[in-house]
């Protein structure tokens, strides 16, 4: 039974009241009292002006989360886009507890005694994708598996006798993770320039001007005989861009024509987020590899998955003489993650999650487009399922600058709504169990926040609020 478990007060209204003592609203102390170093986050401003005890999250229920100050928020960013079944997926929690009692650890690395539950899960996962990419590797994150995909592509080239095919094509402003390899082929300069040379022979293509046209031009310049793979996000998270489906199909066709591996990074778009197990497969595209993560275990246990085609598996797994792709870790295929993943698949089947996401996603998009037409003037909301992009541009059509986007994000928090920002606007990415009623609440809170931003300067939004400087 789908339930978002709306939190209410005794009077029946959604409660965002502060219940923490006044001292909880004070800074928690000097930086030495906060030993965490966040990933991809500016620590100094946070510690200097935003670090306060009442900001920390302490509880979650349904699609809502509570901070130490007592406020409940509708989590329309699904934690980090990975909380597909919300905070109260009891069947998944029970599967995790049971597996911890039965077999809390096993490994797929090097040894020949995998956990039975991991094999059971691999078979179930293959069947969930209709055996269209029938083999898979497990890892611990999407970042790890995008790196594995690129390594596998180049590894196969050496087996084929074409080791010169090393070029990787990616897109500017793309995001494929934060490991040393994933950062190298993510099109965010702050990631790949920060630590000196990373993975060589990566080429970034413009987002605008048509993806297929840009890939075709790059293949002409580099030569297909030098190109190993193209890696794409079916919907670009960090950039905030949704390519036309026909353009994505054309990229896949080009790859097939030239023998270039088509790698679909579906860590965000896959596993129901866009209303299908795979956005690419739903569009009729058959990638050589699909990378999954995030919602695979509803975010309860770390996991990454790489699905690969028959052809790639036969090349990579059975060369003569044998050769090994040396990528992986001791916790790949962890039995607890496998148990959680099996439970998620059962919930998806029982509750019709994919159909639900398609229906509620269409409702959300319609409401967001109406708000966008009224507030921004175009109604140009893009996306599929429960991954909707709300572009924000000024009167000249230029994207809002990051400070103004953050201003709106904080204003949304003042209205009890957590959202993600991209370079071009807002992403609305609520849990997959969200209802039409939840979507109405999201749109109403966003509408109120937009009104706040229009009526106040950046320094005024959140001033005096319990949420004024939330990171």
Residue 21 CB contacts under 8 Å (≥ 6 apart), including other chains? none
- Structure tokens given for 310: 């028959």
Beta carbons of 268 and 84 less than 8 angstroms apart: no
Confidence (pLDDT) at 468:
31
The H or E element that residue 197 is part of is: none
Sign of CA dihedral 283, 289, 293, 295: positive
Q: What is the pLDDT of residues 437-457, one digit of tens each?
A: 999 999 999 999 999 998 875
Domains of the chain: 22-83+352-454 (3.90.1150.10), 91-351 (3.40.640.10)
Task: For residues 353 and 152, give the distance between their C-alpha atoms in angstroms, rounded to a whole number.
Answer: 32
Q: Sheet harboring 425-428: ordered strands across?
A: 382-384, 387-391, 425-428, 420-421
Q: What phi, psi does 30 have (nearest 5°)?
A: -70, 165
**How far, in Å, are 176, 214, 221 from residue 210 at the CA level?**
20, 6, 17
3-state secondary structure of 306: strand
What is the residue whose two structure tokens read 């991954």?
Answer: 387
Measured between alpha carbons, how far is 370 from 380 in angstroms, rounded to an integer? Answer: 9
What is the length of the chain?
A: 471
User: What is the C-alpha to C-alpha distance for residues 239 and 442, in angstroms, rounded to an integer?
Assistant: 22
| pLDDT at residue 404 in the model | 93
Query: For position 192, what pLDDT does the model report?
Result: 74
CB atoms within 10 A of CB 164: 12
d(CA 204, CA 17): 47
Distance CA 420, CA 428 (A): 7
Residues 385, 274: contact at Cβ < 8 Å?
yes
Asked whether the beta carbons of 416 and 8 are under 8 A apart, the reply is no
Alpha-carbon span 457 to 272, nearest angstrom: 38
Radius of gyration of the chain (CA): 23
C-alpha–C-alpha distance, residues 18 and 23, integer Å: 12
- How many whole angstroms separate alpha carbon 416 and alpha carbon 424? 23
User: Rounded to the nearest 10 degrees, what angle do helices 335-351 and 353-375 cross at?
Assistant: 80
Q: Quick one: tokens of 254?
A: 């080009």
d(CA 56, CA 69) in angstroms, rounded, equals 8
Q: Residue 258 carries which DSSP code? A: H
Closest by Cα among 195, 196, 198 to 185: 198
Q: Please count the other Cβ atoms lying within 10 Å of the Cβ belonging to residue 131.
A: 11
| CA atoms in the 13 A half-sphere facing the CB of 233 | 27
d(CA 217, CA 120): 44
Q: How far is CA 177 from CA 22, 173, 219, 322, 456, in A?
A: 39, 12, 25, 31, 36
Give the chain's residues under pLDDT 70: 1-32, 457-471
pLDDT of residue 170: 97
Q: What pLDDT is stored for residue 213 in this prediction? A: 98
CA angle centred on 247, ends 265 and 361, rounded to 5°? 65
Specify which residues 290 forms β-bridges with.
264, 307
Residue with tokens 């497969």: 281
Q: First-to-last CA distance in the chain?
A: 34
Q: How far apart are CA 217 and CA 220, in angstroms?
A: 5
Tokens describing residue 423: 């370079």
Give the pLDDT score at 4.
52
């Amino acid at each position: 039974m789908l339930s978002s478990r709306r939190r209410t007060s005794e009077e029946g209204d959604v409660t965002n009241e502060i219940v923490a003592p006044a001292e909880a609203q004070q800074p928690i102390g000097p930086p030495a009292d906060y030993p965490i170093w966040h990933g991809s986050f500016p620590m100094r401003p946070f510690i200097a002006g935003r670090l306060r005890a009442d900001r920390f999250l302490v509880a979650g229920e349904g699609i809502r989360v509570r901070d130490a100050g007592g406020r409940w928020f509708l989590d329309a960013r699904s934690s980090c886009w990975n909380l597909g079944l919300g905070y109260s997926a009891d069947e998944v929690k029970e599967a995790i507890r049971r597996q911890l009692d039965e077999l809390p650890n096993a490994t797929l690395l090097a040894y020949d005694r995998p956990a039975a539950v991991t094999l059971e899960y691999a078979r179930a996962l293959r069947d969930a994708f209709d055996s269209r990419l029938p083999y898979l590797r497990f890892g611990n994150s999407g970042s790890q598996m995008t790196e594995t995909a690129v390594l596998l592509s180049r590894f196969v080239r050496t087996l084929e006798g074409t080791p010169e095919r090393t070029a990787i094509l990616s897109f500017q402003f793309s995001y494929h993770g934060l490991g040393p390899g994933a950062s190298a082929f993510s099109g965010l300069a702050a990631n790949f320039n920060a630590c000196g040379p990373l993975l060589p022979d990566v080429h970034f293509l413009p987002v605008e001007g048509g993806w297929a046209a840009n890939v075709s031009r790059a293949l002409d310049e580099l030569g297909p005989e030098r190109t190993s793979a193209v890696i794409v996000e079916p919907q670009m998270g960090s950039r905030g861009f949704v390519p036309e489906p026909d353009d994505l199909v054309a990229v896949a066709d080009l790859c097939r024509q030239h023998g270039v591996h088509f790698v679909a990074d579906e860590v965000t778009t896959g596993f129901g987020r866009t209303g299908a197990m795979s956005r690419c497969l739903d569009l009729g595209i058959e990638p050589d590899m699909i990378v999954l993560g995030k919602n695979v275990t509803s975010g309860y246990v770390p996991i990454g998955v790489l699905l690969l085609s028959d052809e790639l598996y036969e090349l990579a797994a059975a060369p003569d003489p044998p050769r090994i792709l040396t990528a992986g870790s001791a916790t790949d295929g962890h039995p607890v993650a496998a148990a959680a993943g099996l439970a998620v698949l059962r919930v998806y089947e029982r509750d019709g999650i994919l159909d639900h996401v398609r229906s509620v996603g269409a409702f959300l998009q319609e409401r967001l487009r109406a708000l966008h037409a009224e507030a921004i003037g175009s109604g140009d909301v893009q996306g599929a399922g429960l991954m909707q992009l709300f572009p924000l541009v000024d009167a000249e059509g230029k994207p809002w600058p990051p400070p103004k986007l953050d201003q709106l994000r904080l204003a949304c928090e003042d209205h009890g709504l957590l959202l993600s920002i991209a370079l071009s606007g807002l992403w609305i990415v609520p849990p997959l169990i969200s209802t039409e009623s939840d979507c109405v609440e999201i749109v109403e809170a966003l509408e109120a926040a937009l009104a706040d931003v229009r009526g106040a300067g950046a320094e005024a939004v959140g001033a005096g609020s319990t949420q004024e400087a939330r990171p």
